[in-house]
Amino acid sequence: MAGFAPESSRIPEVQRVDARETDYLRDERSPNKFLVHRKVFTDQQVFETERRKVFDKCWIYVGHESEIPKPGDFVAREIAGRPVLFTRNKDQEVRVLLNSCSHRGAEVCRERRGNQKRFRCFYHSWAFSNDGDLINMPDEGGFPEGFRKEDHGLAKPEQVDSYRGFVFATFNPEQEPLEEYLSDAKYYLDLTADQASGEQGMVVTRGTHEYSMRSNWKLLAENSSDGYHAIPVHKTYLDVQRSRGDDIAGHTEKDWKESHAFDLGNGHTVTVKRAPWGRPVARWTPSMGEDTKKTVERSHQRLIEAHGEERAEMISNLDFNMLIFPNLVLNNIMAVIIRTFYPNQPGHMNVTAFSLAPGDEDEPARRVRNESFLSFLGPAGLATPDDNEALESCQRGYEARPGECWSDVSRGMDKADPANWDELQMRTFWRRWDTLMGEEA
């Protein structure tokens, strides 16, 4: 399985990256050391600053095009702390509109999803198109001379763009184009999008996991690709899979094969491996049940037909956990999960997660996928709730010595080819975060 390693992986991290010492990070050489100051998880000032310097600067994931397939479709959600409407207009174009009336600020839509051409604000009845233009209002003649409707549309992000169905927005007029920003992460978005061999492509399924953690958002950025915690935290998941017949040793090096961690540029990271679980797209394991074997094999066969042996092998068997900086996780593991999170306090975040599946999947295949997803993932799954507890426990622990303690993130930093149970992925995130925090606003 070659072709997935970025250029940066040829040079060991400590040779490639300069040492640094800031208010938040100690990234030292000889001896090699990587420390993160714990005030980054608790401090109100840090929280205010990262809203401006991180979330208002970067490209932020909005949603997947499949969530609004038809003209007039819309979904209301929050991105980077702002209420938005994710819409499709009559010309099939995707729009992102701030859900706050240009008149006095009320939400112009209070439904969570639906299909409508117009959004009428209930406060004074101004009506907007799903492009965000102000169409009409009662007693238009009462406004002073020079009042022009075209000046009063709904506010929009500075830029909106998409890559293979994944839609992003940024509030930064200077932000580089999306494709450049995504850098080597594109390779893994392609691998994911290519799981669908049918015309519909990959689609977000109905049913959203909307949950929360009483912990800092950066802990989830770390945790979502932290291979080191898998055995101690997710022992119950692994035990259950083992009692259902899977070959699981409960031992890091034995269960995670061909594992690497990569720096994908711009703070994006990925860990790749061949994990001990099954993959509904093409890797059957006994825990999935004998009756599902044919369904999974059929899916594998279709991938070979669509992409050829070599590419199909990557799509089928490469497990990866990717973080697109700052707050989009795309884990292509026992199912494909899209997960975003945003802090509303230093010690609290809202998490939203979706399942991404081939659009032409039939009922038996979807059944396999949903069971595989829920065997691990989600706020009622067999693993994710324990991540919640681990992160919340860290956050409670930070009260122990406020303002004077450092967390260690140095594992594997002197290795030439670190694995997913090392911490290159987290250091890559932290360096990017620290760089942005150090820039002029």
Partner 1 sequence: MSFRYPEDQQVSSEKFTRSEVEDFLYYEAQLLDAWKLEEWHDLFAEDGHYIVPSTDNPDGDLKMDLALIDDDMEGIRGRVQRLMSTYAHIENPRSRTRRMISNVRLWDHEDGELGVRCSVVVHRSRVPGTTSYVADVHYRLRKQDDSFKIAFKHAMLDHHTLRDVGGVLSIVL
Other CB atoms within a 10 A radius of the CB of residue 10 amount to: 10
What does each C-alpha distance from 175 to 54, 59, 187 come to in angstroms?
A: 12, 8, 21
Contacted entry of partner 1, Fe ion, ligand FES, none for residue 208, CB cut-off 5 to 8 Å set by kind: partner 1
Nearest to 218, CA basis, from 421, 38, 378: 38
Q: Are 168 and 84 in contact (CB under 8 A)?
A: no
Considering only 14, 60, 213, 426, the residue that binds partner 1 (CB under 8 A) is 213
| Site membership for partner 1, residue 274 (CB under 8 A) | no
Cβ nearer to Fe ion, comparing 193 with 231: 231
| ω into 385 cis (within 30 of 0) | no
- Pick the stretch among 2-10, 43-51, 167-175, 203-211 that binds partner 1 (CB under 8 A): 203-211
What gap in Å lies between CA 99 and CA 357, rounded to an integer?
29
Other CB atoms within a 10 A radius of the CB of residue 53 amount to: 18
| Site membership for Fe ion, residue 387 (CB under 5 A) | yes
CA 318 to chain CA centroid, nearest Å: 18
Cβ nearer to partner 1, comparing 210 with 310: 210
Cβ nearer to Fe ion, comparing 235 with 257: 235
Least gap, CB of 120 to ligand FES (angstroms): 9
Cβ nearer to partner 1, comparing 78 with 131: 78
Contacted entry of ligand FES, Fe ion, partner 1, none for residue 106, CB cut-off 5 to 8 Å set by kind: ligand FES
What gap in Å lies between CA 267 and CA 324, rounded to an integer?
7
| Site membership for Fe ion, residue 423 (CB under 5 A) | no
What does each C-alpha distance from 10 to 6, 286, 361, 430 come to in angstroms?
A: 8, 37, 39, 21
What gap in Å lies between CA 420 and CA 138, rounded to an integer?
60
Q: Which residues bind ligand FES (CB under 6 A)?
A: 101, 103-106, 121, 123-126
| Site membership for partner 1, residue 109 (CB under 8 A) | no
Contacted entry of ligand FES, partner 1, Fe ion, none for residue 295, CB cut-off 5 to 8 Å set by kind: none
Burial of 31 (0-12, 13-18, 19+ CB in 10 A): exposed
| Site membership for partner 1, residue 4 (CB under 8 A) | no
Cβ nearer to ligand FES, comparing 124 with 396: 124
Half-sphere exposure of 419 (CA within 13 A, CB side): 14
Question: What SS3 state is found at 281?
Answer: coil
Cβ nearer to Fe ion, comparing 109 with 329: 329
Pairing of strands 348-358, 406-408: unpaired
What gap in Å lies between CA 98 and CA 77, rounded to an integer?
10
Contacted entry of Fe ion, ligand FES, partner 1, none for residue 123, CB cut-off 5 to 8 Å set by kind: ligand FES
Cβ nearer to ligand FES, comparing 126 with 376: 126
| Site membership for partner 1, residue 385 (CB under 8 A) | yes
| Site membership for partner 1, residue 390 (CB under 8 A) | yes
Task: Tell me the H-state helices in 39-95.
Answer: 39-42, 44-50
Least gap, CB of 169 to ligand FES (angstroms): 22
Site mask, partner 1, residues 35-64, x = CB under 8 A?
Answer: ------------------------------
Task: Output DSSP code: residue 7.
Answer: G
Contacted entry of ligand FES, partner 1, Fe ion, none for residue 104, CB cut-off 5 to 8 Å set by kind: ligand FES
Q: Are 375 and 241 in contact (CB under 8 A)?
A: yes
Cβ nearer to ligand FES, comparing 136 with 200: 136
Find all residues with CB under 8 Å of 231, minimum gap 6, and list them. Answer: 238, 250, 251, 252, 255
Interface with partner 1 by CB under 8 A: which residues? 112, 205-214, 233, 235-237, 239-240, 243-244, 289, 350, 354-355, 363, 366-367, 370-371, 373-375, 378-380, 382, 384-386, 388-390, 392, 396
Interface with Fe ion by CB under 5 A: which residues? 387
